[in-house]
């Protein structure tokens, strides 16, 4: 019998953990042909999440859990889970029931027919503001333009990964992780299934616009150096203009002599160039920051406790 791990990163989810467990339990009843491992990764929750997980762990022998030493963020919680997962396949699912567990049988079916990465793509985003939908759409558009790898639009982390994919992902040890991009980057046999994303059952999203902006920068800078090229491109264009303008100024001065006029054009040139330079410095800084973080070669996370295979 093959084993499938259900991997659930959880941060302050005490309002939904039990509901999630009940719904999962019901779904798994219909799939008796597999060994199931339900692996919770408690990402340093400050509420009762860990206690609830421990209670479930005592009742149900399919459950195991990892407690991380602090809150590291979902991306890191996921790699921690992948490192510990025992299954021949791993299903990543959010704790807040935005990803319906009822999709699992379909994912497993496709896995059985030979796909390595069965991901759920949302048809619509219920319970999300129009602004969030719009910004998400814009972001995907930009990301697709600047990277060369195919990006899966409107796809979260809800997916089934074959062992091959898991082993591949485990080798990508960068500290600043953009897992969504990594799924595409590793390749393998992909299959999409469509679903309606539900609004959160309880509790609230840990994302705010600042964090999303951060993730967007992360997504772009970890998959392409195109922004660096943009500064060279702008630099080139502006230099050409500057050269022509210089020629004009010299010729004009030779013909008409020098005048003290020209304050506006000077200001415009200085401000414009100053802006471009700061922008380019910022872009370079982003990449240097990433280099800095990666060169430290720190472990991605520390485990406080792990209760696996009983
Ligand atoms: N999560 C986590 N660590 C964090 C933030 C979130 O493990 O620092 C988990 C969270 O418990 C949930 C999943 O990541 O299972 C998705 O989080 P959330 O619902 O806040 O994100 P959204 O659905 O709004 O993208
Ligand atoms: Mg959510």
Nearest to 289 by CA among 209, 221, 190, 240: 221
Q: Is the pLDDT of residue 182 over 80?
A: yes
Q: What is the pLDDT of residue 267?
A: 77
179 lines ligand 1 (CB under 6 A): no
Condensed to tens digits (0 to 9), the pLDDT of residues 88-107 reads 999 999 998 888 899 999 99
Between 93-107, 108-122, 215-229, the lowest mean confidence (pLDDT) is in 215-229
Ligand 1 centre to CA of 40 (Å) is 13
Rounded distance, CA 230 to CA 283, Å?
9
Is the pLDDT at 299 greater than 70, yes or no?
A: yes
- The alpha carbon of 77 and the centre of ligand 2 are apart by a number of angstroms equal to 15
Task: Provide the token pair at 8.
Answer: 């659930």
Tell the residue nearest (CA) to atom 6 of ligand 1. Answer: 74
Ligand 1 and 235: CB distance under 6 A = no
Confidence check: pLDDT of 263 > 80: no
* Contact by Cβ (8 Å): 259, 206: no
CA distance 144 to 148: 7
42 close to 68: Cβ distance less than 8 angstroms: yes
Check if 290 has its Cβ closer than 6 Å to any atom of ligand 1. Answer: no
CA distance 113 to 267: 66
Of residues 276 and 63, which shows the higher confidence score? 63
Assess contact for 286 and 230: CB atoms under 8 A: no
What spacing in Å lies between the alpha carbon of 48 and ligand 1's midpoint?
16
């Amino acid at each position: 019998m093959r084993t499938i791990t259900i991997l659930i990163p959880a941060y302050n989810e005490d309002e939904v953990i039990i509901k999630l467990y009940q719904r999962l339990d019901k779904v798994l009843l219909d799939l008796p042909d597999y060994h199931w491992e339900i692996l919770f990764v408690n990402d340093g929750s400050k509420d009762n999440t860990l206690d609830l997980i421990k209670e479930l762990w005592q009742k149900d022998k399919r459950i195991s859990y990892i407690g991380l030493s602090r809150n590291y963020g979902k991306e890191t919680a996921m790699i921690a889970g992948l490192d510990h997962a025992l299954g021949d396949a791993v299903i990543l699912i959010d704790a807040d029931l935005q990803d319906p567990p009822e999709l699992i049988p379909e994912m497993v079916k496709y896995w059985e027919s030979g796909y390595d990465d069965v991901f759920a793509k949302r048809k619509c985003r219920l319970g999300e503001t129009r602004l969030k939908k719009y910004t998400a759409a814009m972001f995907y558009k930009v990301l697709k333009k600047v990277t060369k790898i195919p990006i899966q639009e409107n796809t979260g982390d809800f997916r089934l990964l074959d062992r091959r994919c898991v082993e591949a992902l485990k080798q990508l040890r960068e500290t600043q992780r953009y897992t969504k991009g990594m799924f595409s980057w590793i390749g393998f046999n992909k299959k999409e299934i469509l679903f309606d994303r539900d609004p959160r059952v309880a509790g609230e999203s840990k994302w705010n616009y600042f964090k999303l902006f951060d993730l967007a920068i992360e997504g772009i800078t970890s998959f392409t150096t195109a922004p660096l090229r943009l500064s060279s491109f702008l630099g080139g264009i502006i230099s050409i203009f500057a050269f022509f303008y210089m020629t004009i100024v010299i010729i004009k001065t030779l013909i008409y002599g020098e005048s003290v006029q020209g304050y506006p054009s000077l200001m415009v040139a200085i401000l414009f160039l100053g802006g471009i330079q700061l922008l380019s410095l910022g872009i370079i800084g982003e990449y240097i920051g990433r280099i800095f973080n990666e060169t430290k070669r720190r472990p991605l996370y520390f485990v406080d406790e792990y209760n696996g295979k009983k």
